[in-house]
Structure formats: structure tokens, C-alpha cells
Structure 1
């Protein structure tokens, strides 16, 4: 399950600790919108690795067609790396599309 540690809810999923602030924002997980349909998880990870250790990167696909839904998530090892990636990658270009990069929010 999870626990409260220093103001963050910490859960373990697939062996990776993920934190969530009390305001509903993930502490080290980024939402990446505006992805090209051709962008794959590996290329998304490669684009963000220069800003820190990426523990997970996934492009969300439609379950019926397998085609990209145009957004994904990148999880960093630290909150500082995540913030650096937001500053550098928000409104930047990847595969011909302008990215929108923000801290990820919890599902509602």
C-alpha cells in the first residue's frame, strides 16, 4: 500500500517508489502532452534522460488500436531532476510537435 513520509504519500508500484504531495501532484512524475503519434516510450525516455535519471517513461496508447493517444509520463529519480526537465522541455520540440510538460496529477 503506502505511507506518509515528510508530507508525501509514498507508494511502491513495480518496485519503484512514487510520491504524491498532499495537493494531488506527483512529486517526480511528469505529464508530457502534445506527443507525435510516432513517438515511442524509448524515444521519450531518451529525450528526457539528459536532465537526470529516468526510472520510467511511457507513451499512453489506445487499448483497441494500439495507437498513441498523444501523451505520456516520465518519472525521474528525484524531484530536482523533474523540475529541471520541466524547465528545459516545456514548449520544446520532439518529433515535430511542441511538448507541454507539467508535474503529473493523481487520477481523480
Structure 2
């Protein structure tokens, strides 16, 4: 009985691999589709623990219209975790900020 269970799993895995292969050949991968999409939201890491939402927004406003600036806070301590997110009005503004801030 255990033999048939193992054989069934092998057949199922083989069928799943074949289906996944067939799908990947006929349609572009989700990763490729997402990678080609532009985004107006940026991750900002290495931020000072003293930075708040307002100062983050103020700093990035020079690159375009900031819709949202959010510093991620630790739930237990209430302190900054040292990173956040900036959402610009357009992907072009986000790209300009990314290029300007690269390697800083």
C-alpha cells in the first residue's frame, strides 16, 4: 500500500512539473510582468531612528509630489525600525528620486 502512495506522489509531481513547464512556455512569468511595470512607491532603508513621517516627506518632496511618507515603527517599543516607504504621484517622480538618492 505504501508503494502505491509513493508511486502516486511521483506521478503527481511529474504531472505538476509538466503543467508548470507548459504554462511557463506559453505565458510570460509573473516576475517578468511585475518587473516591467513601473511603480511610484519606493522602499527607503537605512533611515535614522530619529526620522519621522513628516521629515521623510519633507526630504523627498524635492523630487516630486509625495502622496505618502511612512516610517515603519516597532509595535512593542514604538520606535522607528530604520526604514519606510515613499509614494510619489507618478512613477517618473519616484524614478527621479531613486536616481538622485542612489548610493547615498
TM-score, normalized by length of structure 2? 0.64
Aligned length: 72
**Contact conserved, 2:69 with 2:87, CA < 8 A, in 1?**
yes
Give 1:71's match in structure 2, choosing from 83, 86, 94.
Answer: 83
Bigger-Rg structure (1/2): 2
Kindly state the Cα deviation for residue 89 of structure 1 after the two structures are TM-superposed: 1.5
Shift of 1:22: 2.4
Matched, 1:85 2:97: yes
- Contact 2:38/2:91 (<8 A) preserved: no
Question: Shift of residue 25 of structure 1?
Answer: 6.9
Q: TM-score scaled to structure 1, two decimals?
A: 0.61
Structure with bigger strand share is 1
Q: Which runs of 5+ in 1 are unaligned?
A: 1-20, 93-108
Q: Which residue of 1 aligns with 2:51?
A: 39
Residue 23 of structure 1 and its aligned partner are, at CA, apart by 3.5
Gaps of 5+ in 2: 1-32
Name 1:29's counterpart in structure 2.
Answer: 41
